[in-house]
Chains A and B, each alone.
Chain A
Amino acid sequence: MKDFLNIYTDPVYSFTFVCIAFFFMIKYVEVIATLKFGIGLMIGTLVMFVLCFMDPVFTKNFYITNDNVPIIYLVFLIAWTTWYALYKGIRNDKRMEEGLPPLEATPENREKVWAWPNLVYTELFAIILGTVFLIGWAVFFKAPLEEPANPTWAPNPAKAPWYFLGLQEMLVYFDPWLAGVLLPGLIVVGLIAIPYIDMNPKGNGYYTFKQRKFAIVTYLFCWLVLWNFLIIIGTVFRGPNWSFYGPFEVWDAHKVVAANNVNISEMLWINTLGVKLPSNIFIREIAGILLTLGYMVLLPVFLTKKIFNFKGAVGKVFNGGFLGKYLKSLGWARYSILIFLVLMSLTLPIKMYLRWLINLKYIVFMPEFEFNI
């Protein structure tokens, strides 16, 4: 079992597993959003952690710094809050299908209550609980402190604190200007843009799933898979030289990982046409440039307008235009921003799979301008 996990937690496989799991979570959301499943999930996560920490190698790698402890809370809280929000959403959806108002809108819950004592006491309770929790944590776990700073000797791996490890993990697939600057910037801009793009008036002020399916599925995918799963990879599955290490694998700085990644330009000119790389950089990179332009310009057109006329199932996918319906309801500005943000967030999984499937290094490689995609 441990050997199995040591192999298949490699993001090459586990990312796909997680995506499939996500798909089933959405498809069978009504099974997930039951009390039974919630309790099972809690017990399951607990058992998983107990089993992991019974393994000395896992424990050693995990406690390389006490700063990793919060990851445990994070995994629990994400699992539990996701389940809980879906549970409440589906419960409201069922009520609304029966013609009842969501639970937040029952006459009893619309009633006004005094802030004192109802709210103030809840807050007091939360403060006491929070204080006890923090003090307990502080007593049992020492804050890490390593050797004094030494600018001439870098530890291996040099990891950022866990909440940035998703970004650090992206550095495997993208250059810093994308992984560290452009994509994080777009996350911030994209988040701020959400209320101005999402024009669905439903689901304002109560839990629901079915009334906001598109918004919730998109957000959950980015939050669970692209953000938190990457953090877990970066924290638990990455060791020296940022190579992959299974959860129960001993870290060994001499582990050799074959790196034979190639650029699209090399695939085109050297591997396929069997000639030398052209000296003009724009001709050299023509394939990558066209692919990038196609992705950012032609693909949006294809997604918006029906272009081909295939029949049947093929047509559903390849005729294009299946997002066109959103154009009408959103208007040009909102729609273009939405498409842009969706395409940009998909660049991450796309680049990951290209790396794994065809050992692709860069789509466009122009070190002359430090412009590598």
Chain B
Amino acid sequence: MAKDSFAQKVAKTQVWKSIFRHGPPDNARNRAAVIAGNVFLHLHPIKLKKSGVQLGYTWCMGGLTFFVFLALAVTGILLMFYYRPTAEYAYNDVIALREHVPLGIMRELHRWGAHAMVITVWLHMFRVFMTGSYKPPREFNWGVGVILLVLTLLLSFTGYLLPWDQLAIWAITVGSNMAKATPLLGHGGPGAMLAKIGDFVMVSDKNDVRFQLLGGRFVGEAALLRFYILHCVFIPVVVSVLIAVHFWRVRKDGGISAPL
């Protein structure tokens, strides 16, 4: 009998077996087990069509989007250790991140990651369109994707305010002034002035959608707190849930699309 290689020896130890519950993936049985027995890897099917694993087909763009999203979650949590969302501290905390944290590129990673995610999600959508992968039975998953696209942009938008510098508040001021113009619901939008009971104006700058978004009539401290919570808790949770739905449906709709 040939002597076991080092890898094979490791694979026979009690520690290895307790973690992976199967030998090294060099035969059919173990290759199935490595995918099926691991909670992360079992997002994948055990076997799939060759056309679907080719980089030239999917460009791995959905996968890269997911990777960047995870990277953003990790760097974002690290940033949260240093950052306090108040008008008094926010800006100084961001400066401190740059000047006092050793090897401080967390903010860079987080910001450039956000830009990268916008690009990868657009290109992913473009790939899905060009391969006609939104056609039956994948119509619904395309819709889930569109919502993910919108949420990705909203994540960027809400994060943009947090450094609390000139770039931040004025970009958000331009953006949130759009909400003011929502038909019927914004006080500067078409039709809002028709909603009157006697002298009582129903839609004003004190209760319209922009007010709800900013927690005030302009981009101030209340807006900072709202955007912080939307950015760090609410939207990421919704995105995570929808990504789970998205991946589940990729599998249930028959895996990566291929000619019928």
* Residue B118, interface by CB 8 Å: yes
- Residue B244 CB within 8 A of the other chain: no
CB 8 Å contact bits of B136-168 with A (1 = contact, 0 = none): 101100110010011001001100100111111
Q: Are B31 and A114 in contact (CB under 8 A)?
A: yes
- Closest Cβ of chain A: how far from B179's Cβ, in Å? 8
Tell whether, in the assembled complex, residue B170 and residue A158 are in contact, meaning their CB atoms are under 8 Å apart.
yes
Min CB distance B127 to A, Å, is 7
Given A160-B175, A181-B182, A219-B129, A104 and B258 contact (CB-CB distance below 8 Å): yes
Dominant secondary structure of chain A at its interface with chain B? helix
- A160→B166 contact, CB < 8 A: no
Interface locus among A137-145, A259-267, A337-345: A137-145
Q: Is there contact, CB below 8 Å, between B165 and A147?
A: yes
CB nearest neighbor in B for A177: B181
Q: What residues on A are CB-neighbors of B183 within 8 Å?
A: 177, 181-182
* Chain B residues positioned under 8 Å from A101 (CB to CB): 259
* Stretch of B2-10, B184-192, B233-241 at the chain-chain interface: B184-192
Stretch of A9-17, A49-57, A148-156 on the interface side: A148-156
Shortest Cβ distance from B218 into A: residue: A151
Q: Which residue of B60, B142, B149 is within 8 Å of A126 (Cβ)? A: B60
User: Do residues A204 and B133 form an inter-chain contact, with CB atoms below 8 A?
Assistant: yes
Residues of A within 8 A of B260 (CB): 204-205
Contact residue among A112, A117, A126 (Cβ-Cβ distance under 8 Å from B49): A112
Contact indicator A120/B107 (Cβ below 8 Å): no
Q: Is the beta-carbon distance between B178 and A149 smaller than 8 angstroms? A: no
B44 and A119 within 8 A (CB) = yes
Cβ contacts B33-54/A at 8 Å (1 or 0 each): 0110000010011111111011
Residue B15 interfacial (CB < 8 Å): no
Q: Does A201 contact B (CB under 8 A)?
A: yes
Contact A204:B132 (CB < 8 A) given known A104-B259, A119-B44, A160-B174:
yes
Q: Provide the residues of chain B in CB contact with A141, threshold 8 Å.
A: 108, 112
- Cβ contact within 8 Å between A146 and B167: yes
Residue of B nearest to A176 (CB): B181
Q: Is B56 an interface position by the 8 A CB rule? A: yes
User: In the bound complex, do residue B46 and residue A114 qualify as a contact, i.e. CB atoms below 8 Å apart?
Assistant: yes
Residues of A within 8 A of B136 (CB): 195, 204
Residues of B within 8 A of A188 (CB): 146, 150
The answer to the question of B249 belonging to the interface, with a C-beta cut-off of 8 Å to chain A, is no
For window 58-75 of chain A, which residues contact chain B by CB distance below 8 Å? 65, 67, 69-70, 73-74
**Interface flag for B212 (CB, 8 Å):** no
Closest 10 CB pairs of A and B: A180-B178, A138-B108, A176-B181, A195-B139, A205-B257, A105-B259, A177-B181, A203-B132, A85-B130, A371-B190
A-B contact pairs, 5 of them (CB 8 A): A141-B108, A164-B175, A180-B181, A194-B134, A369-B190
Known: A118-B50, A143-B107. 12 other contacts (CB 8 A): A69-B112, A105-B258, A110-B50, A115-B47, A116-B31, A130-B64, A130-B67, A144-B167, A158-B170, A158-B174, A192-B146, A370-B193
